[in-house]
């Protein structure tokens, strides 16, 4: 661990940025099986909020592994480190006054809790993108389930690596029974009710 380091206070505070943006800053943590629709939903939500002048950024599991986390594999330890790094990056976005939307399987409850713990109250909202394994396998948008079933991929969540569903998430959206548009509206209404964004933004969905 690094030593002889001292925290330097920023000249522009998180509260200053929130006031200028006219909305809260926080992390929406989408978790669910591969193929459940996390990335599709995260990007649809971000686009809708962006068009409503709400500052957002999406951190996507595959995209992050092209850069920041390209040195990590899919063992349990690598998965934990993957989520730890994303948690720290998410905290930076929250400090910067933005809404960060993350789309990661993040299979372990302990790892998701650790991200929650580094953020303040009302800065971390776990959203369970609920979709059955059977439906995710039917969709199989990247062909990964087929490869996992054929033993071409190891440590694949839901097949030979566990997924621990949230026990008490702030919100559940079921992409098996809800359309993406319906799920986006559910999330935006949730944010309005929490007072994190202006009321009425969901009216046009």
Active-site residues, by number, are 106
Give one word for 22, left, alpha or beta, with left for phi > 0 and alpha for psi -120 to 50: left
**Beta carbons within 8 Å of 53's beta carbon, 6+ residues apart:** 22
DSSP E strand boundaries for 46-182: 56-60, 99-103, 124-130, 171-174
CA gap 103, 128 in Å, rounded: 10
CA dihedral sign, ordered 61, 67, 69, 70: positive
DSSP E strand boundaries for 32-103: 56-60, 99-103
């Amino acid at each position: 661990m690094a030593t002889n380091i001292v925290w330097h206070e920023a000249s522009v505070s998180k509260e200053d940025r929130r006031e200028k943006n006219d909305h809260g800053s926080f992390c929406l943590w989408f978790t669910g099986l591969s193929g459940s629709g996390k990335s599709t939903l995260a990007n649809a939500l971000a686009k809708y909020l962006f068009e409503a002048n709400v500052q957002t950024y999406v951190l996507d599991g595959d995209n992050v592994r092209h850069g920041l986390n390209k040195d990590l594999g899919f063992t349990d330890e690598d998965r934990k480190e993957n989520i730890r790094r994303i948690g720290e990056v998410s905290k930076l976005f929250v400090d910067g006054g933005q809404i960060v939307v993350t789309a990661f399987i993040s299979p372990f409850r302990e790892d998701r809790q650790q991200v929650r713990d580094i953020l303040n109250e009302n800065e971390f909202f776990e959203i369970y993108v609920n979709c059955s394994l059977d439906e995710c396998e039917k969709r199989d948008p990247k062909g990964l389930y087929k490869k996992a079933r054929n033993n071409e991929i190891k440590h694949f969540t839901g097949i030979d690596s566990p997924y621990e569903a949230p026990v008490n998430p702030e919100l559940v959206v079921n992409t098996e029974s809800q359309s993406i548009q319906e799920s986006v509206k559910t999330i935006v209404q949730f944010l309005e009710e929490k007072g994190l964004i202006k009321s009425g933004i969901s009216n046009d969905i």
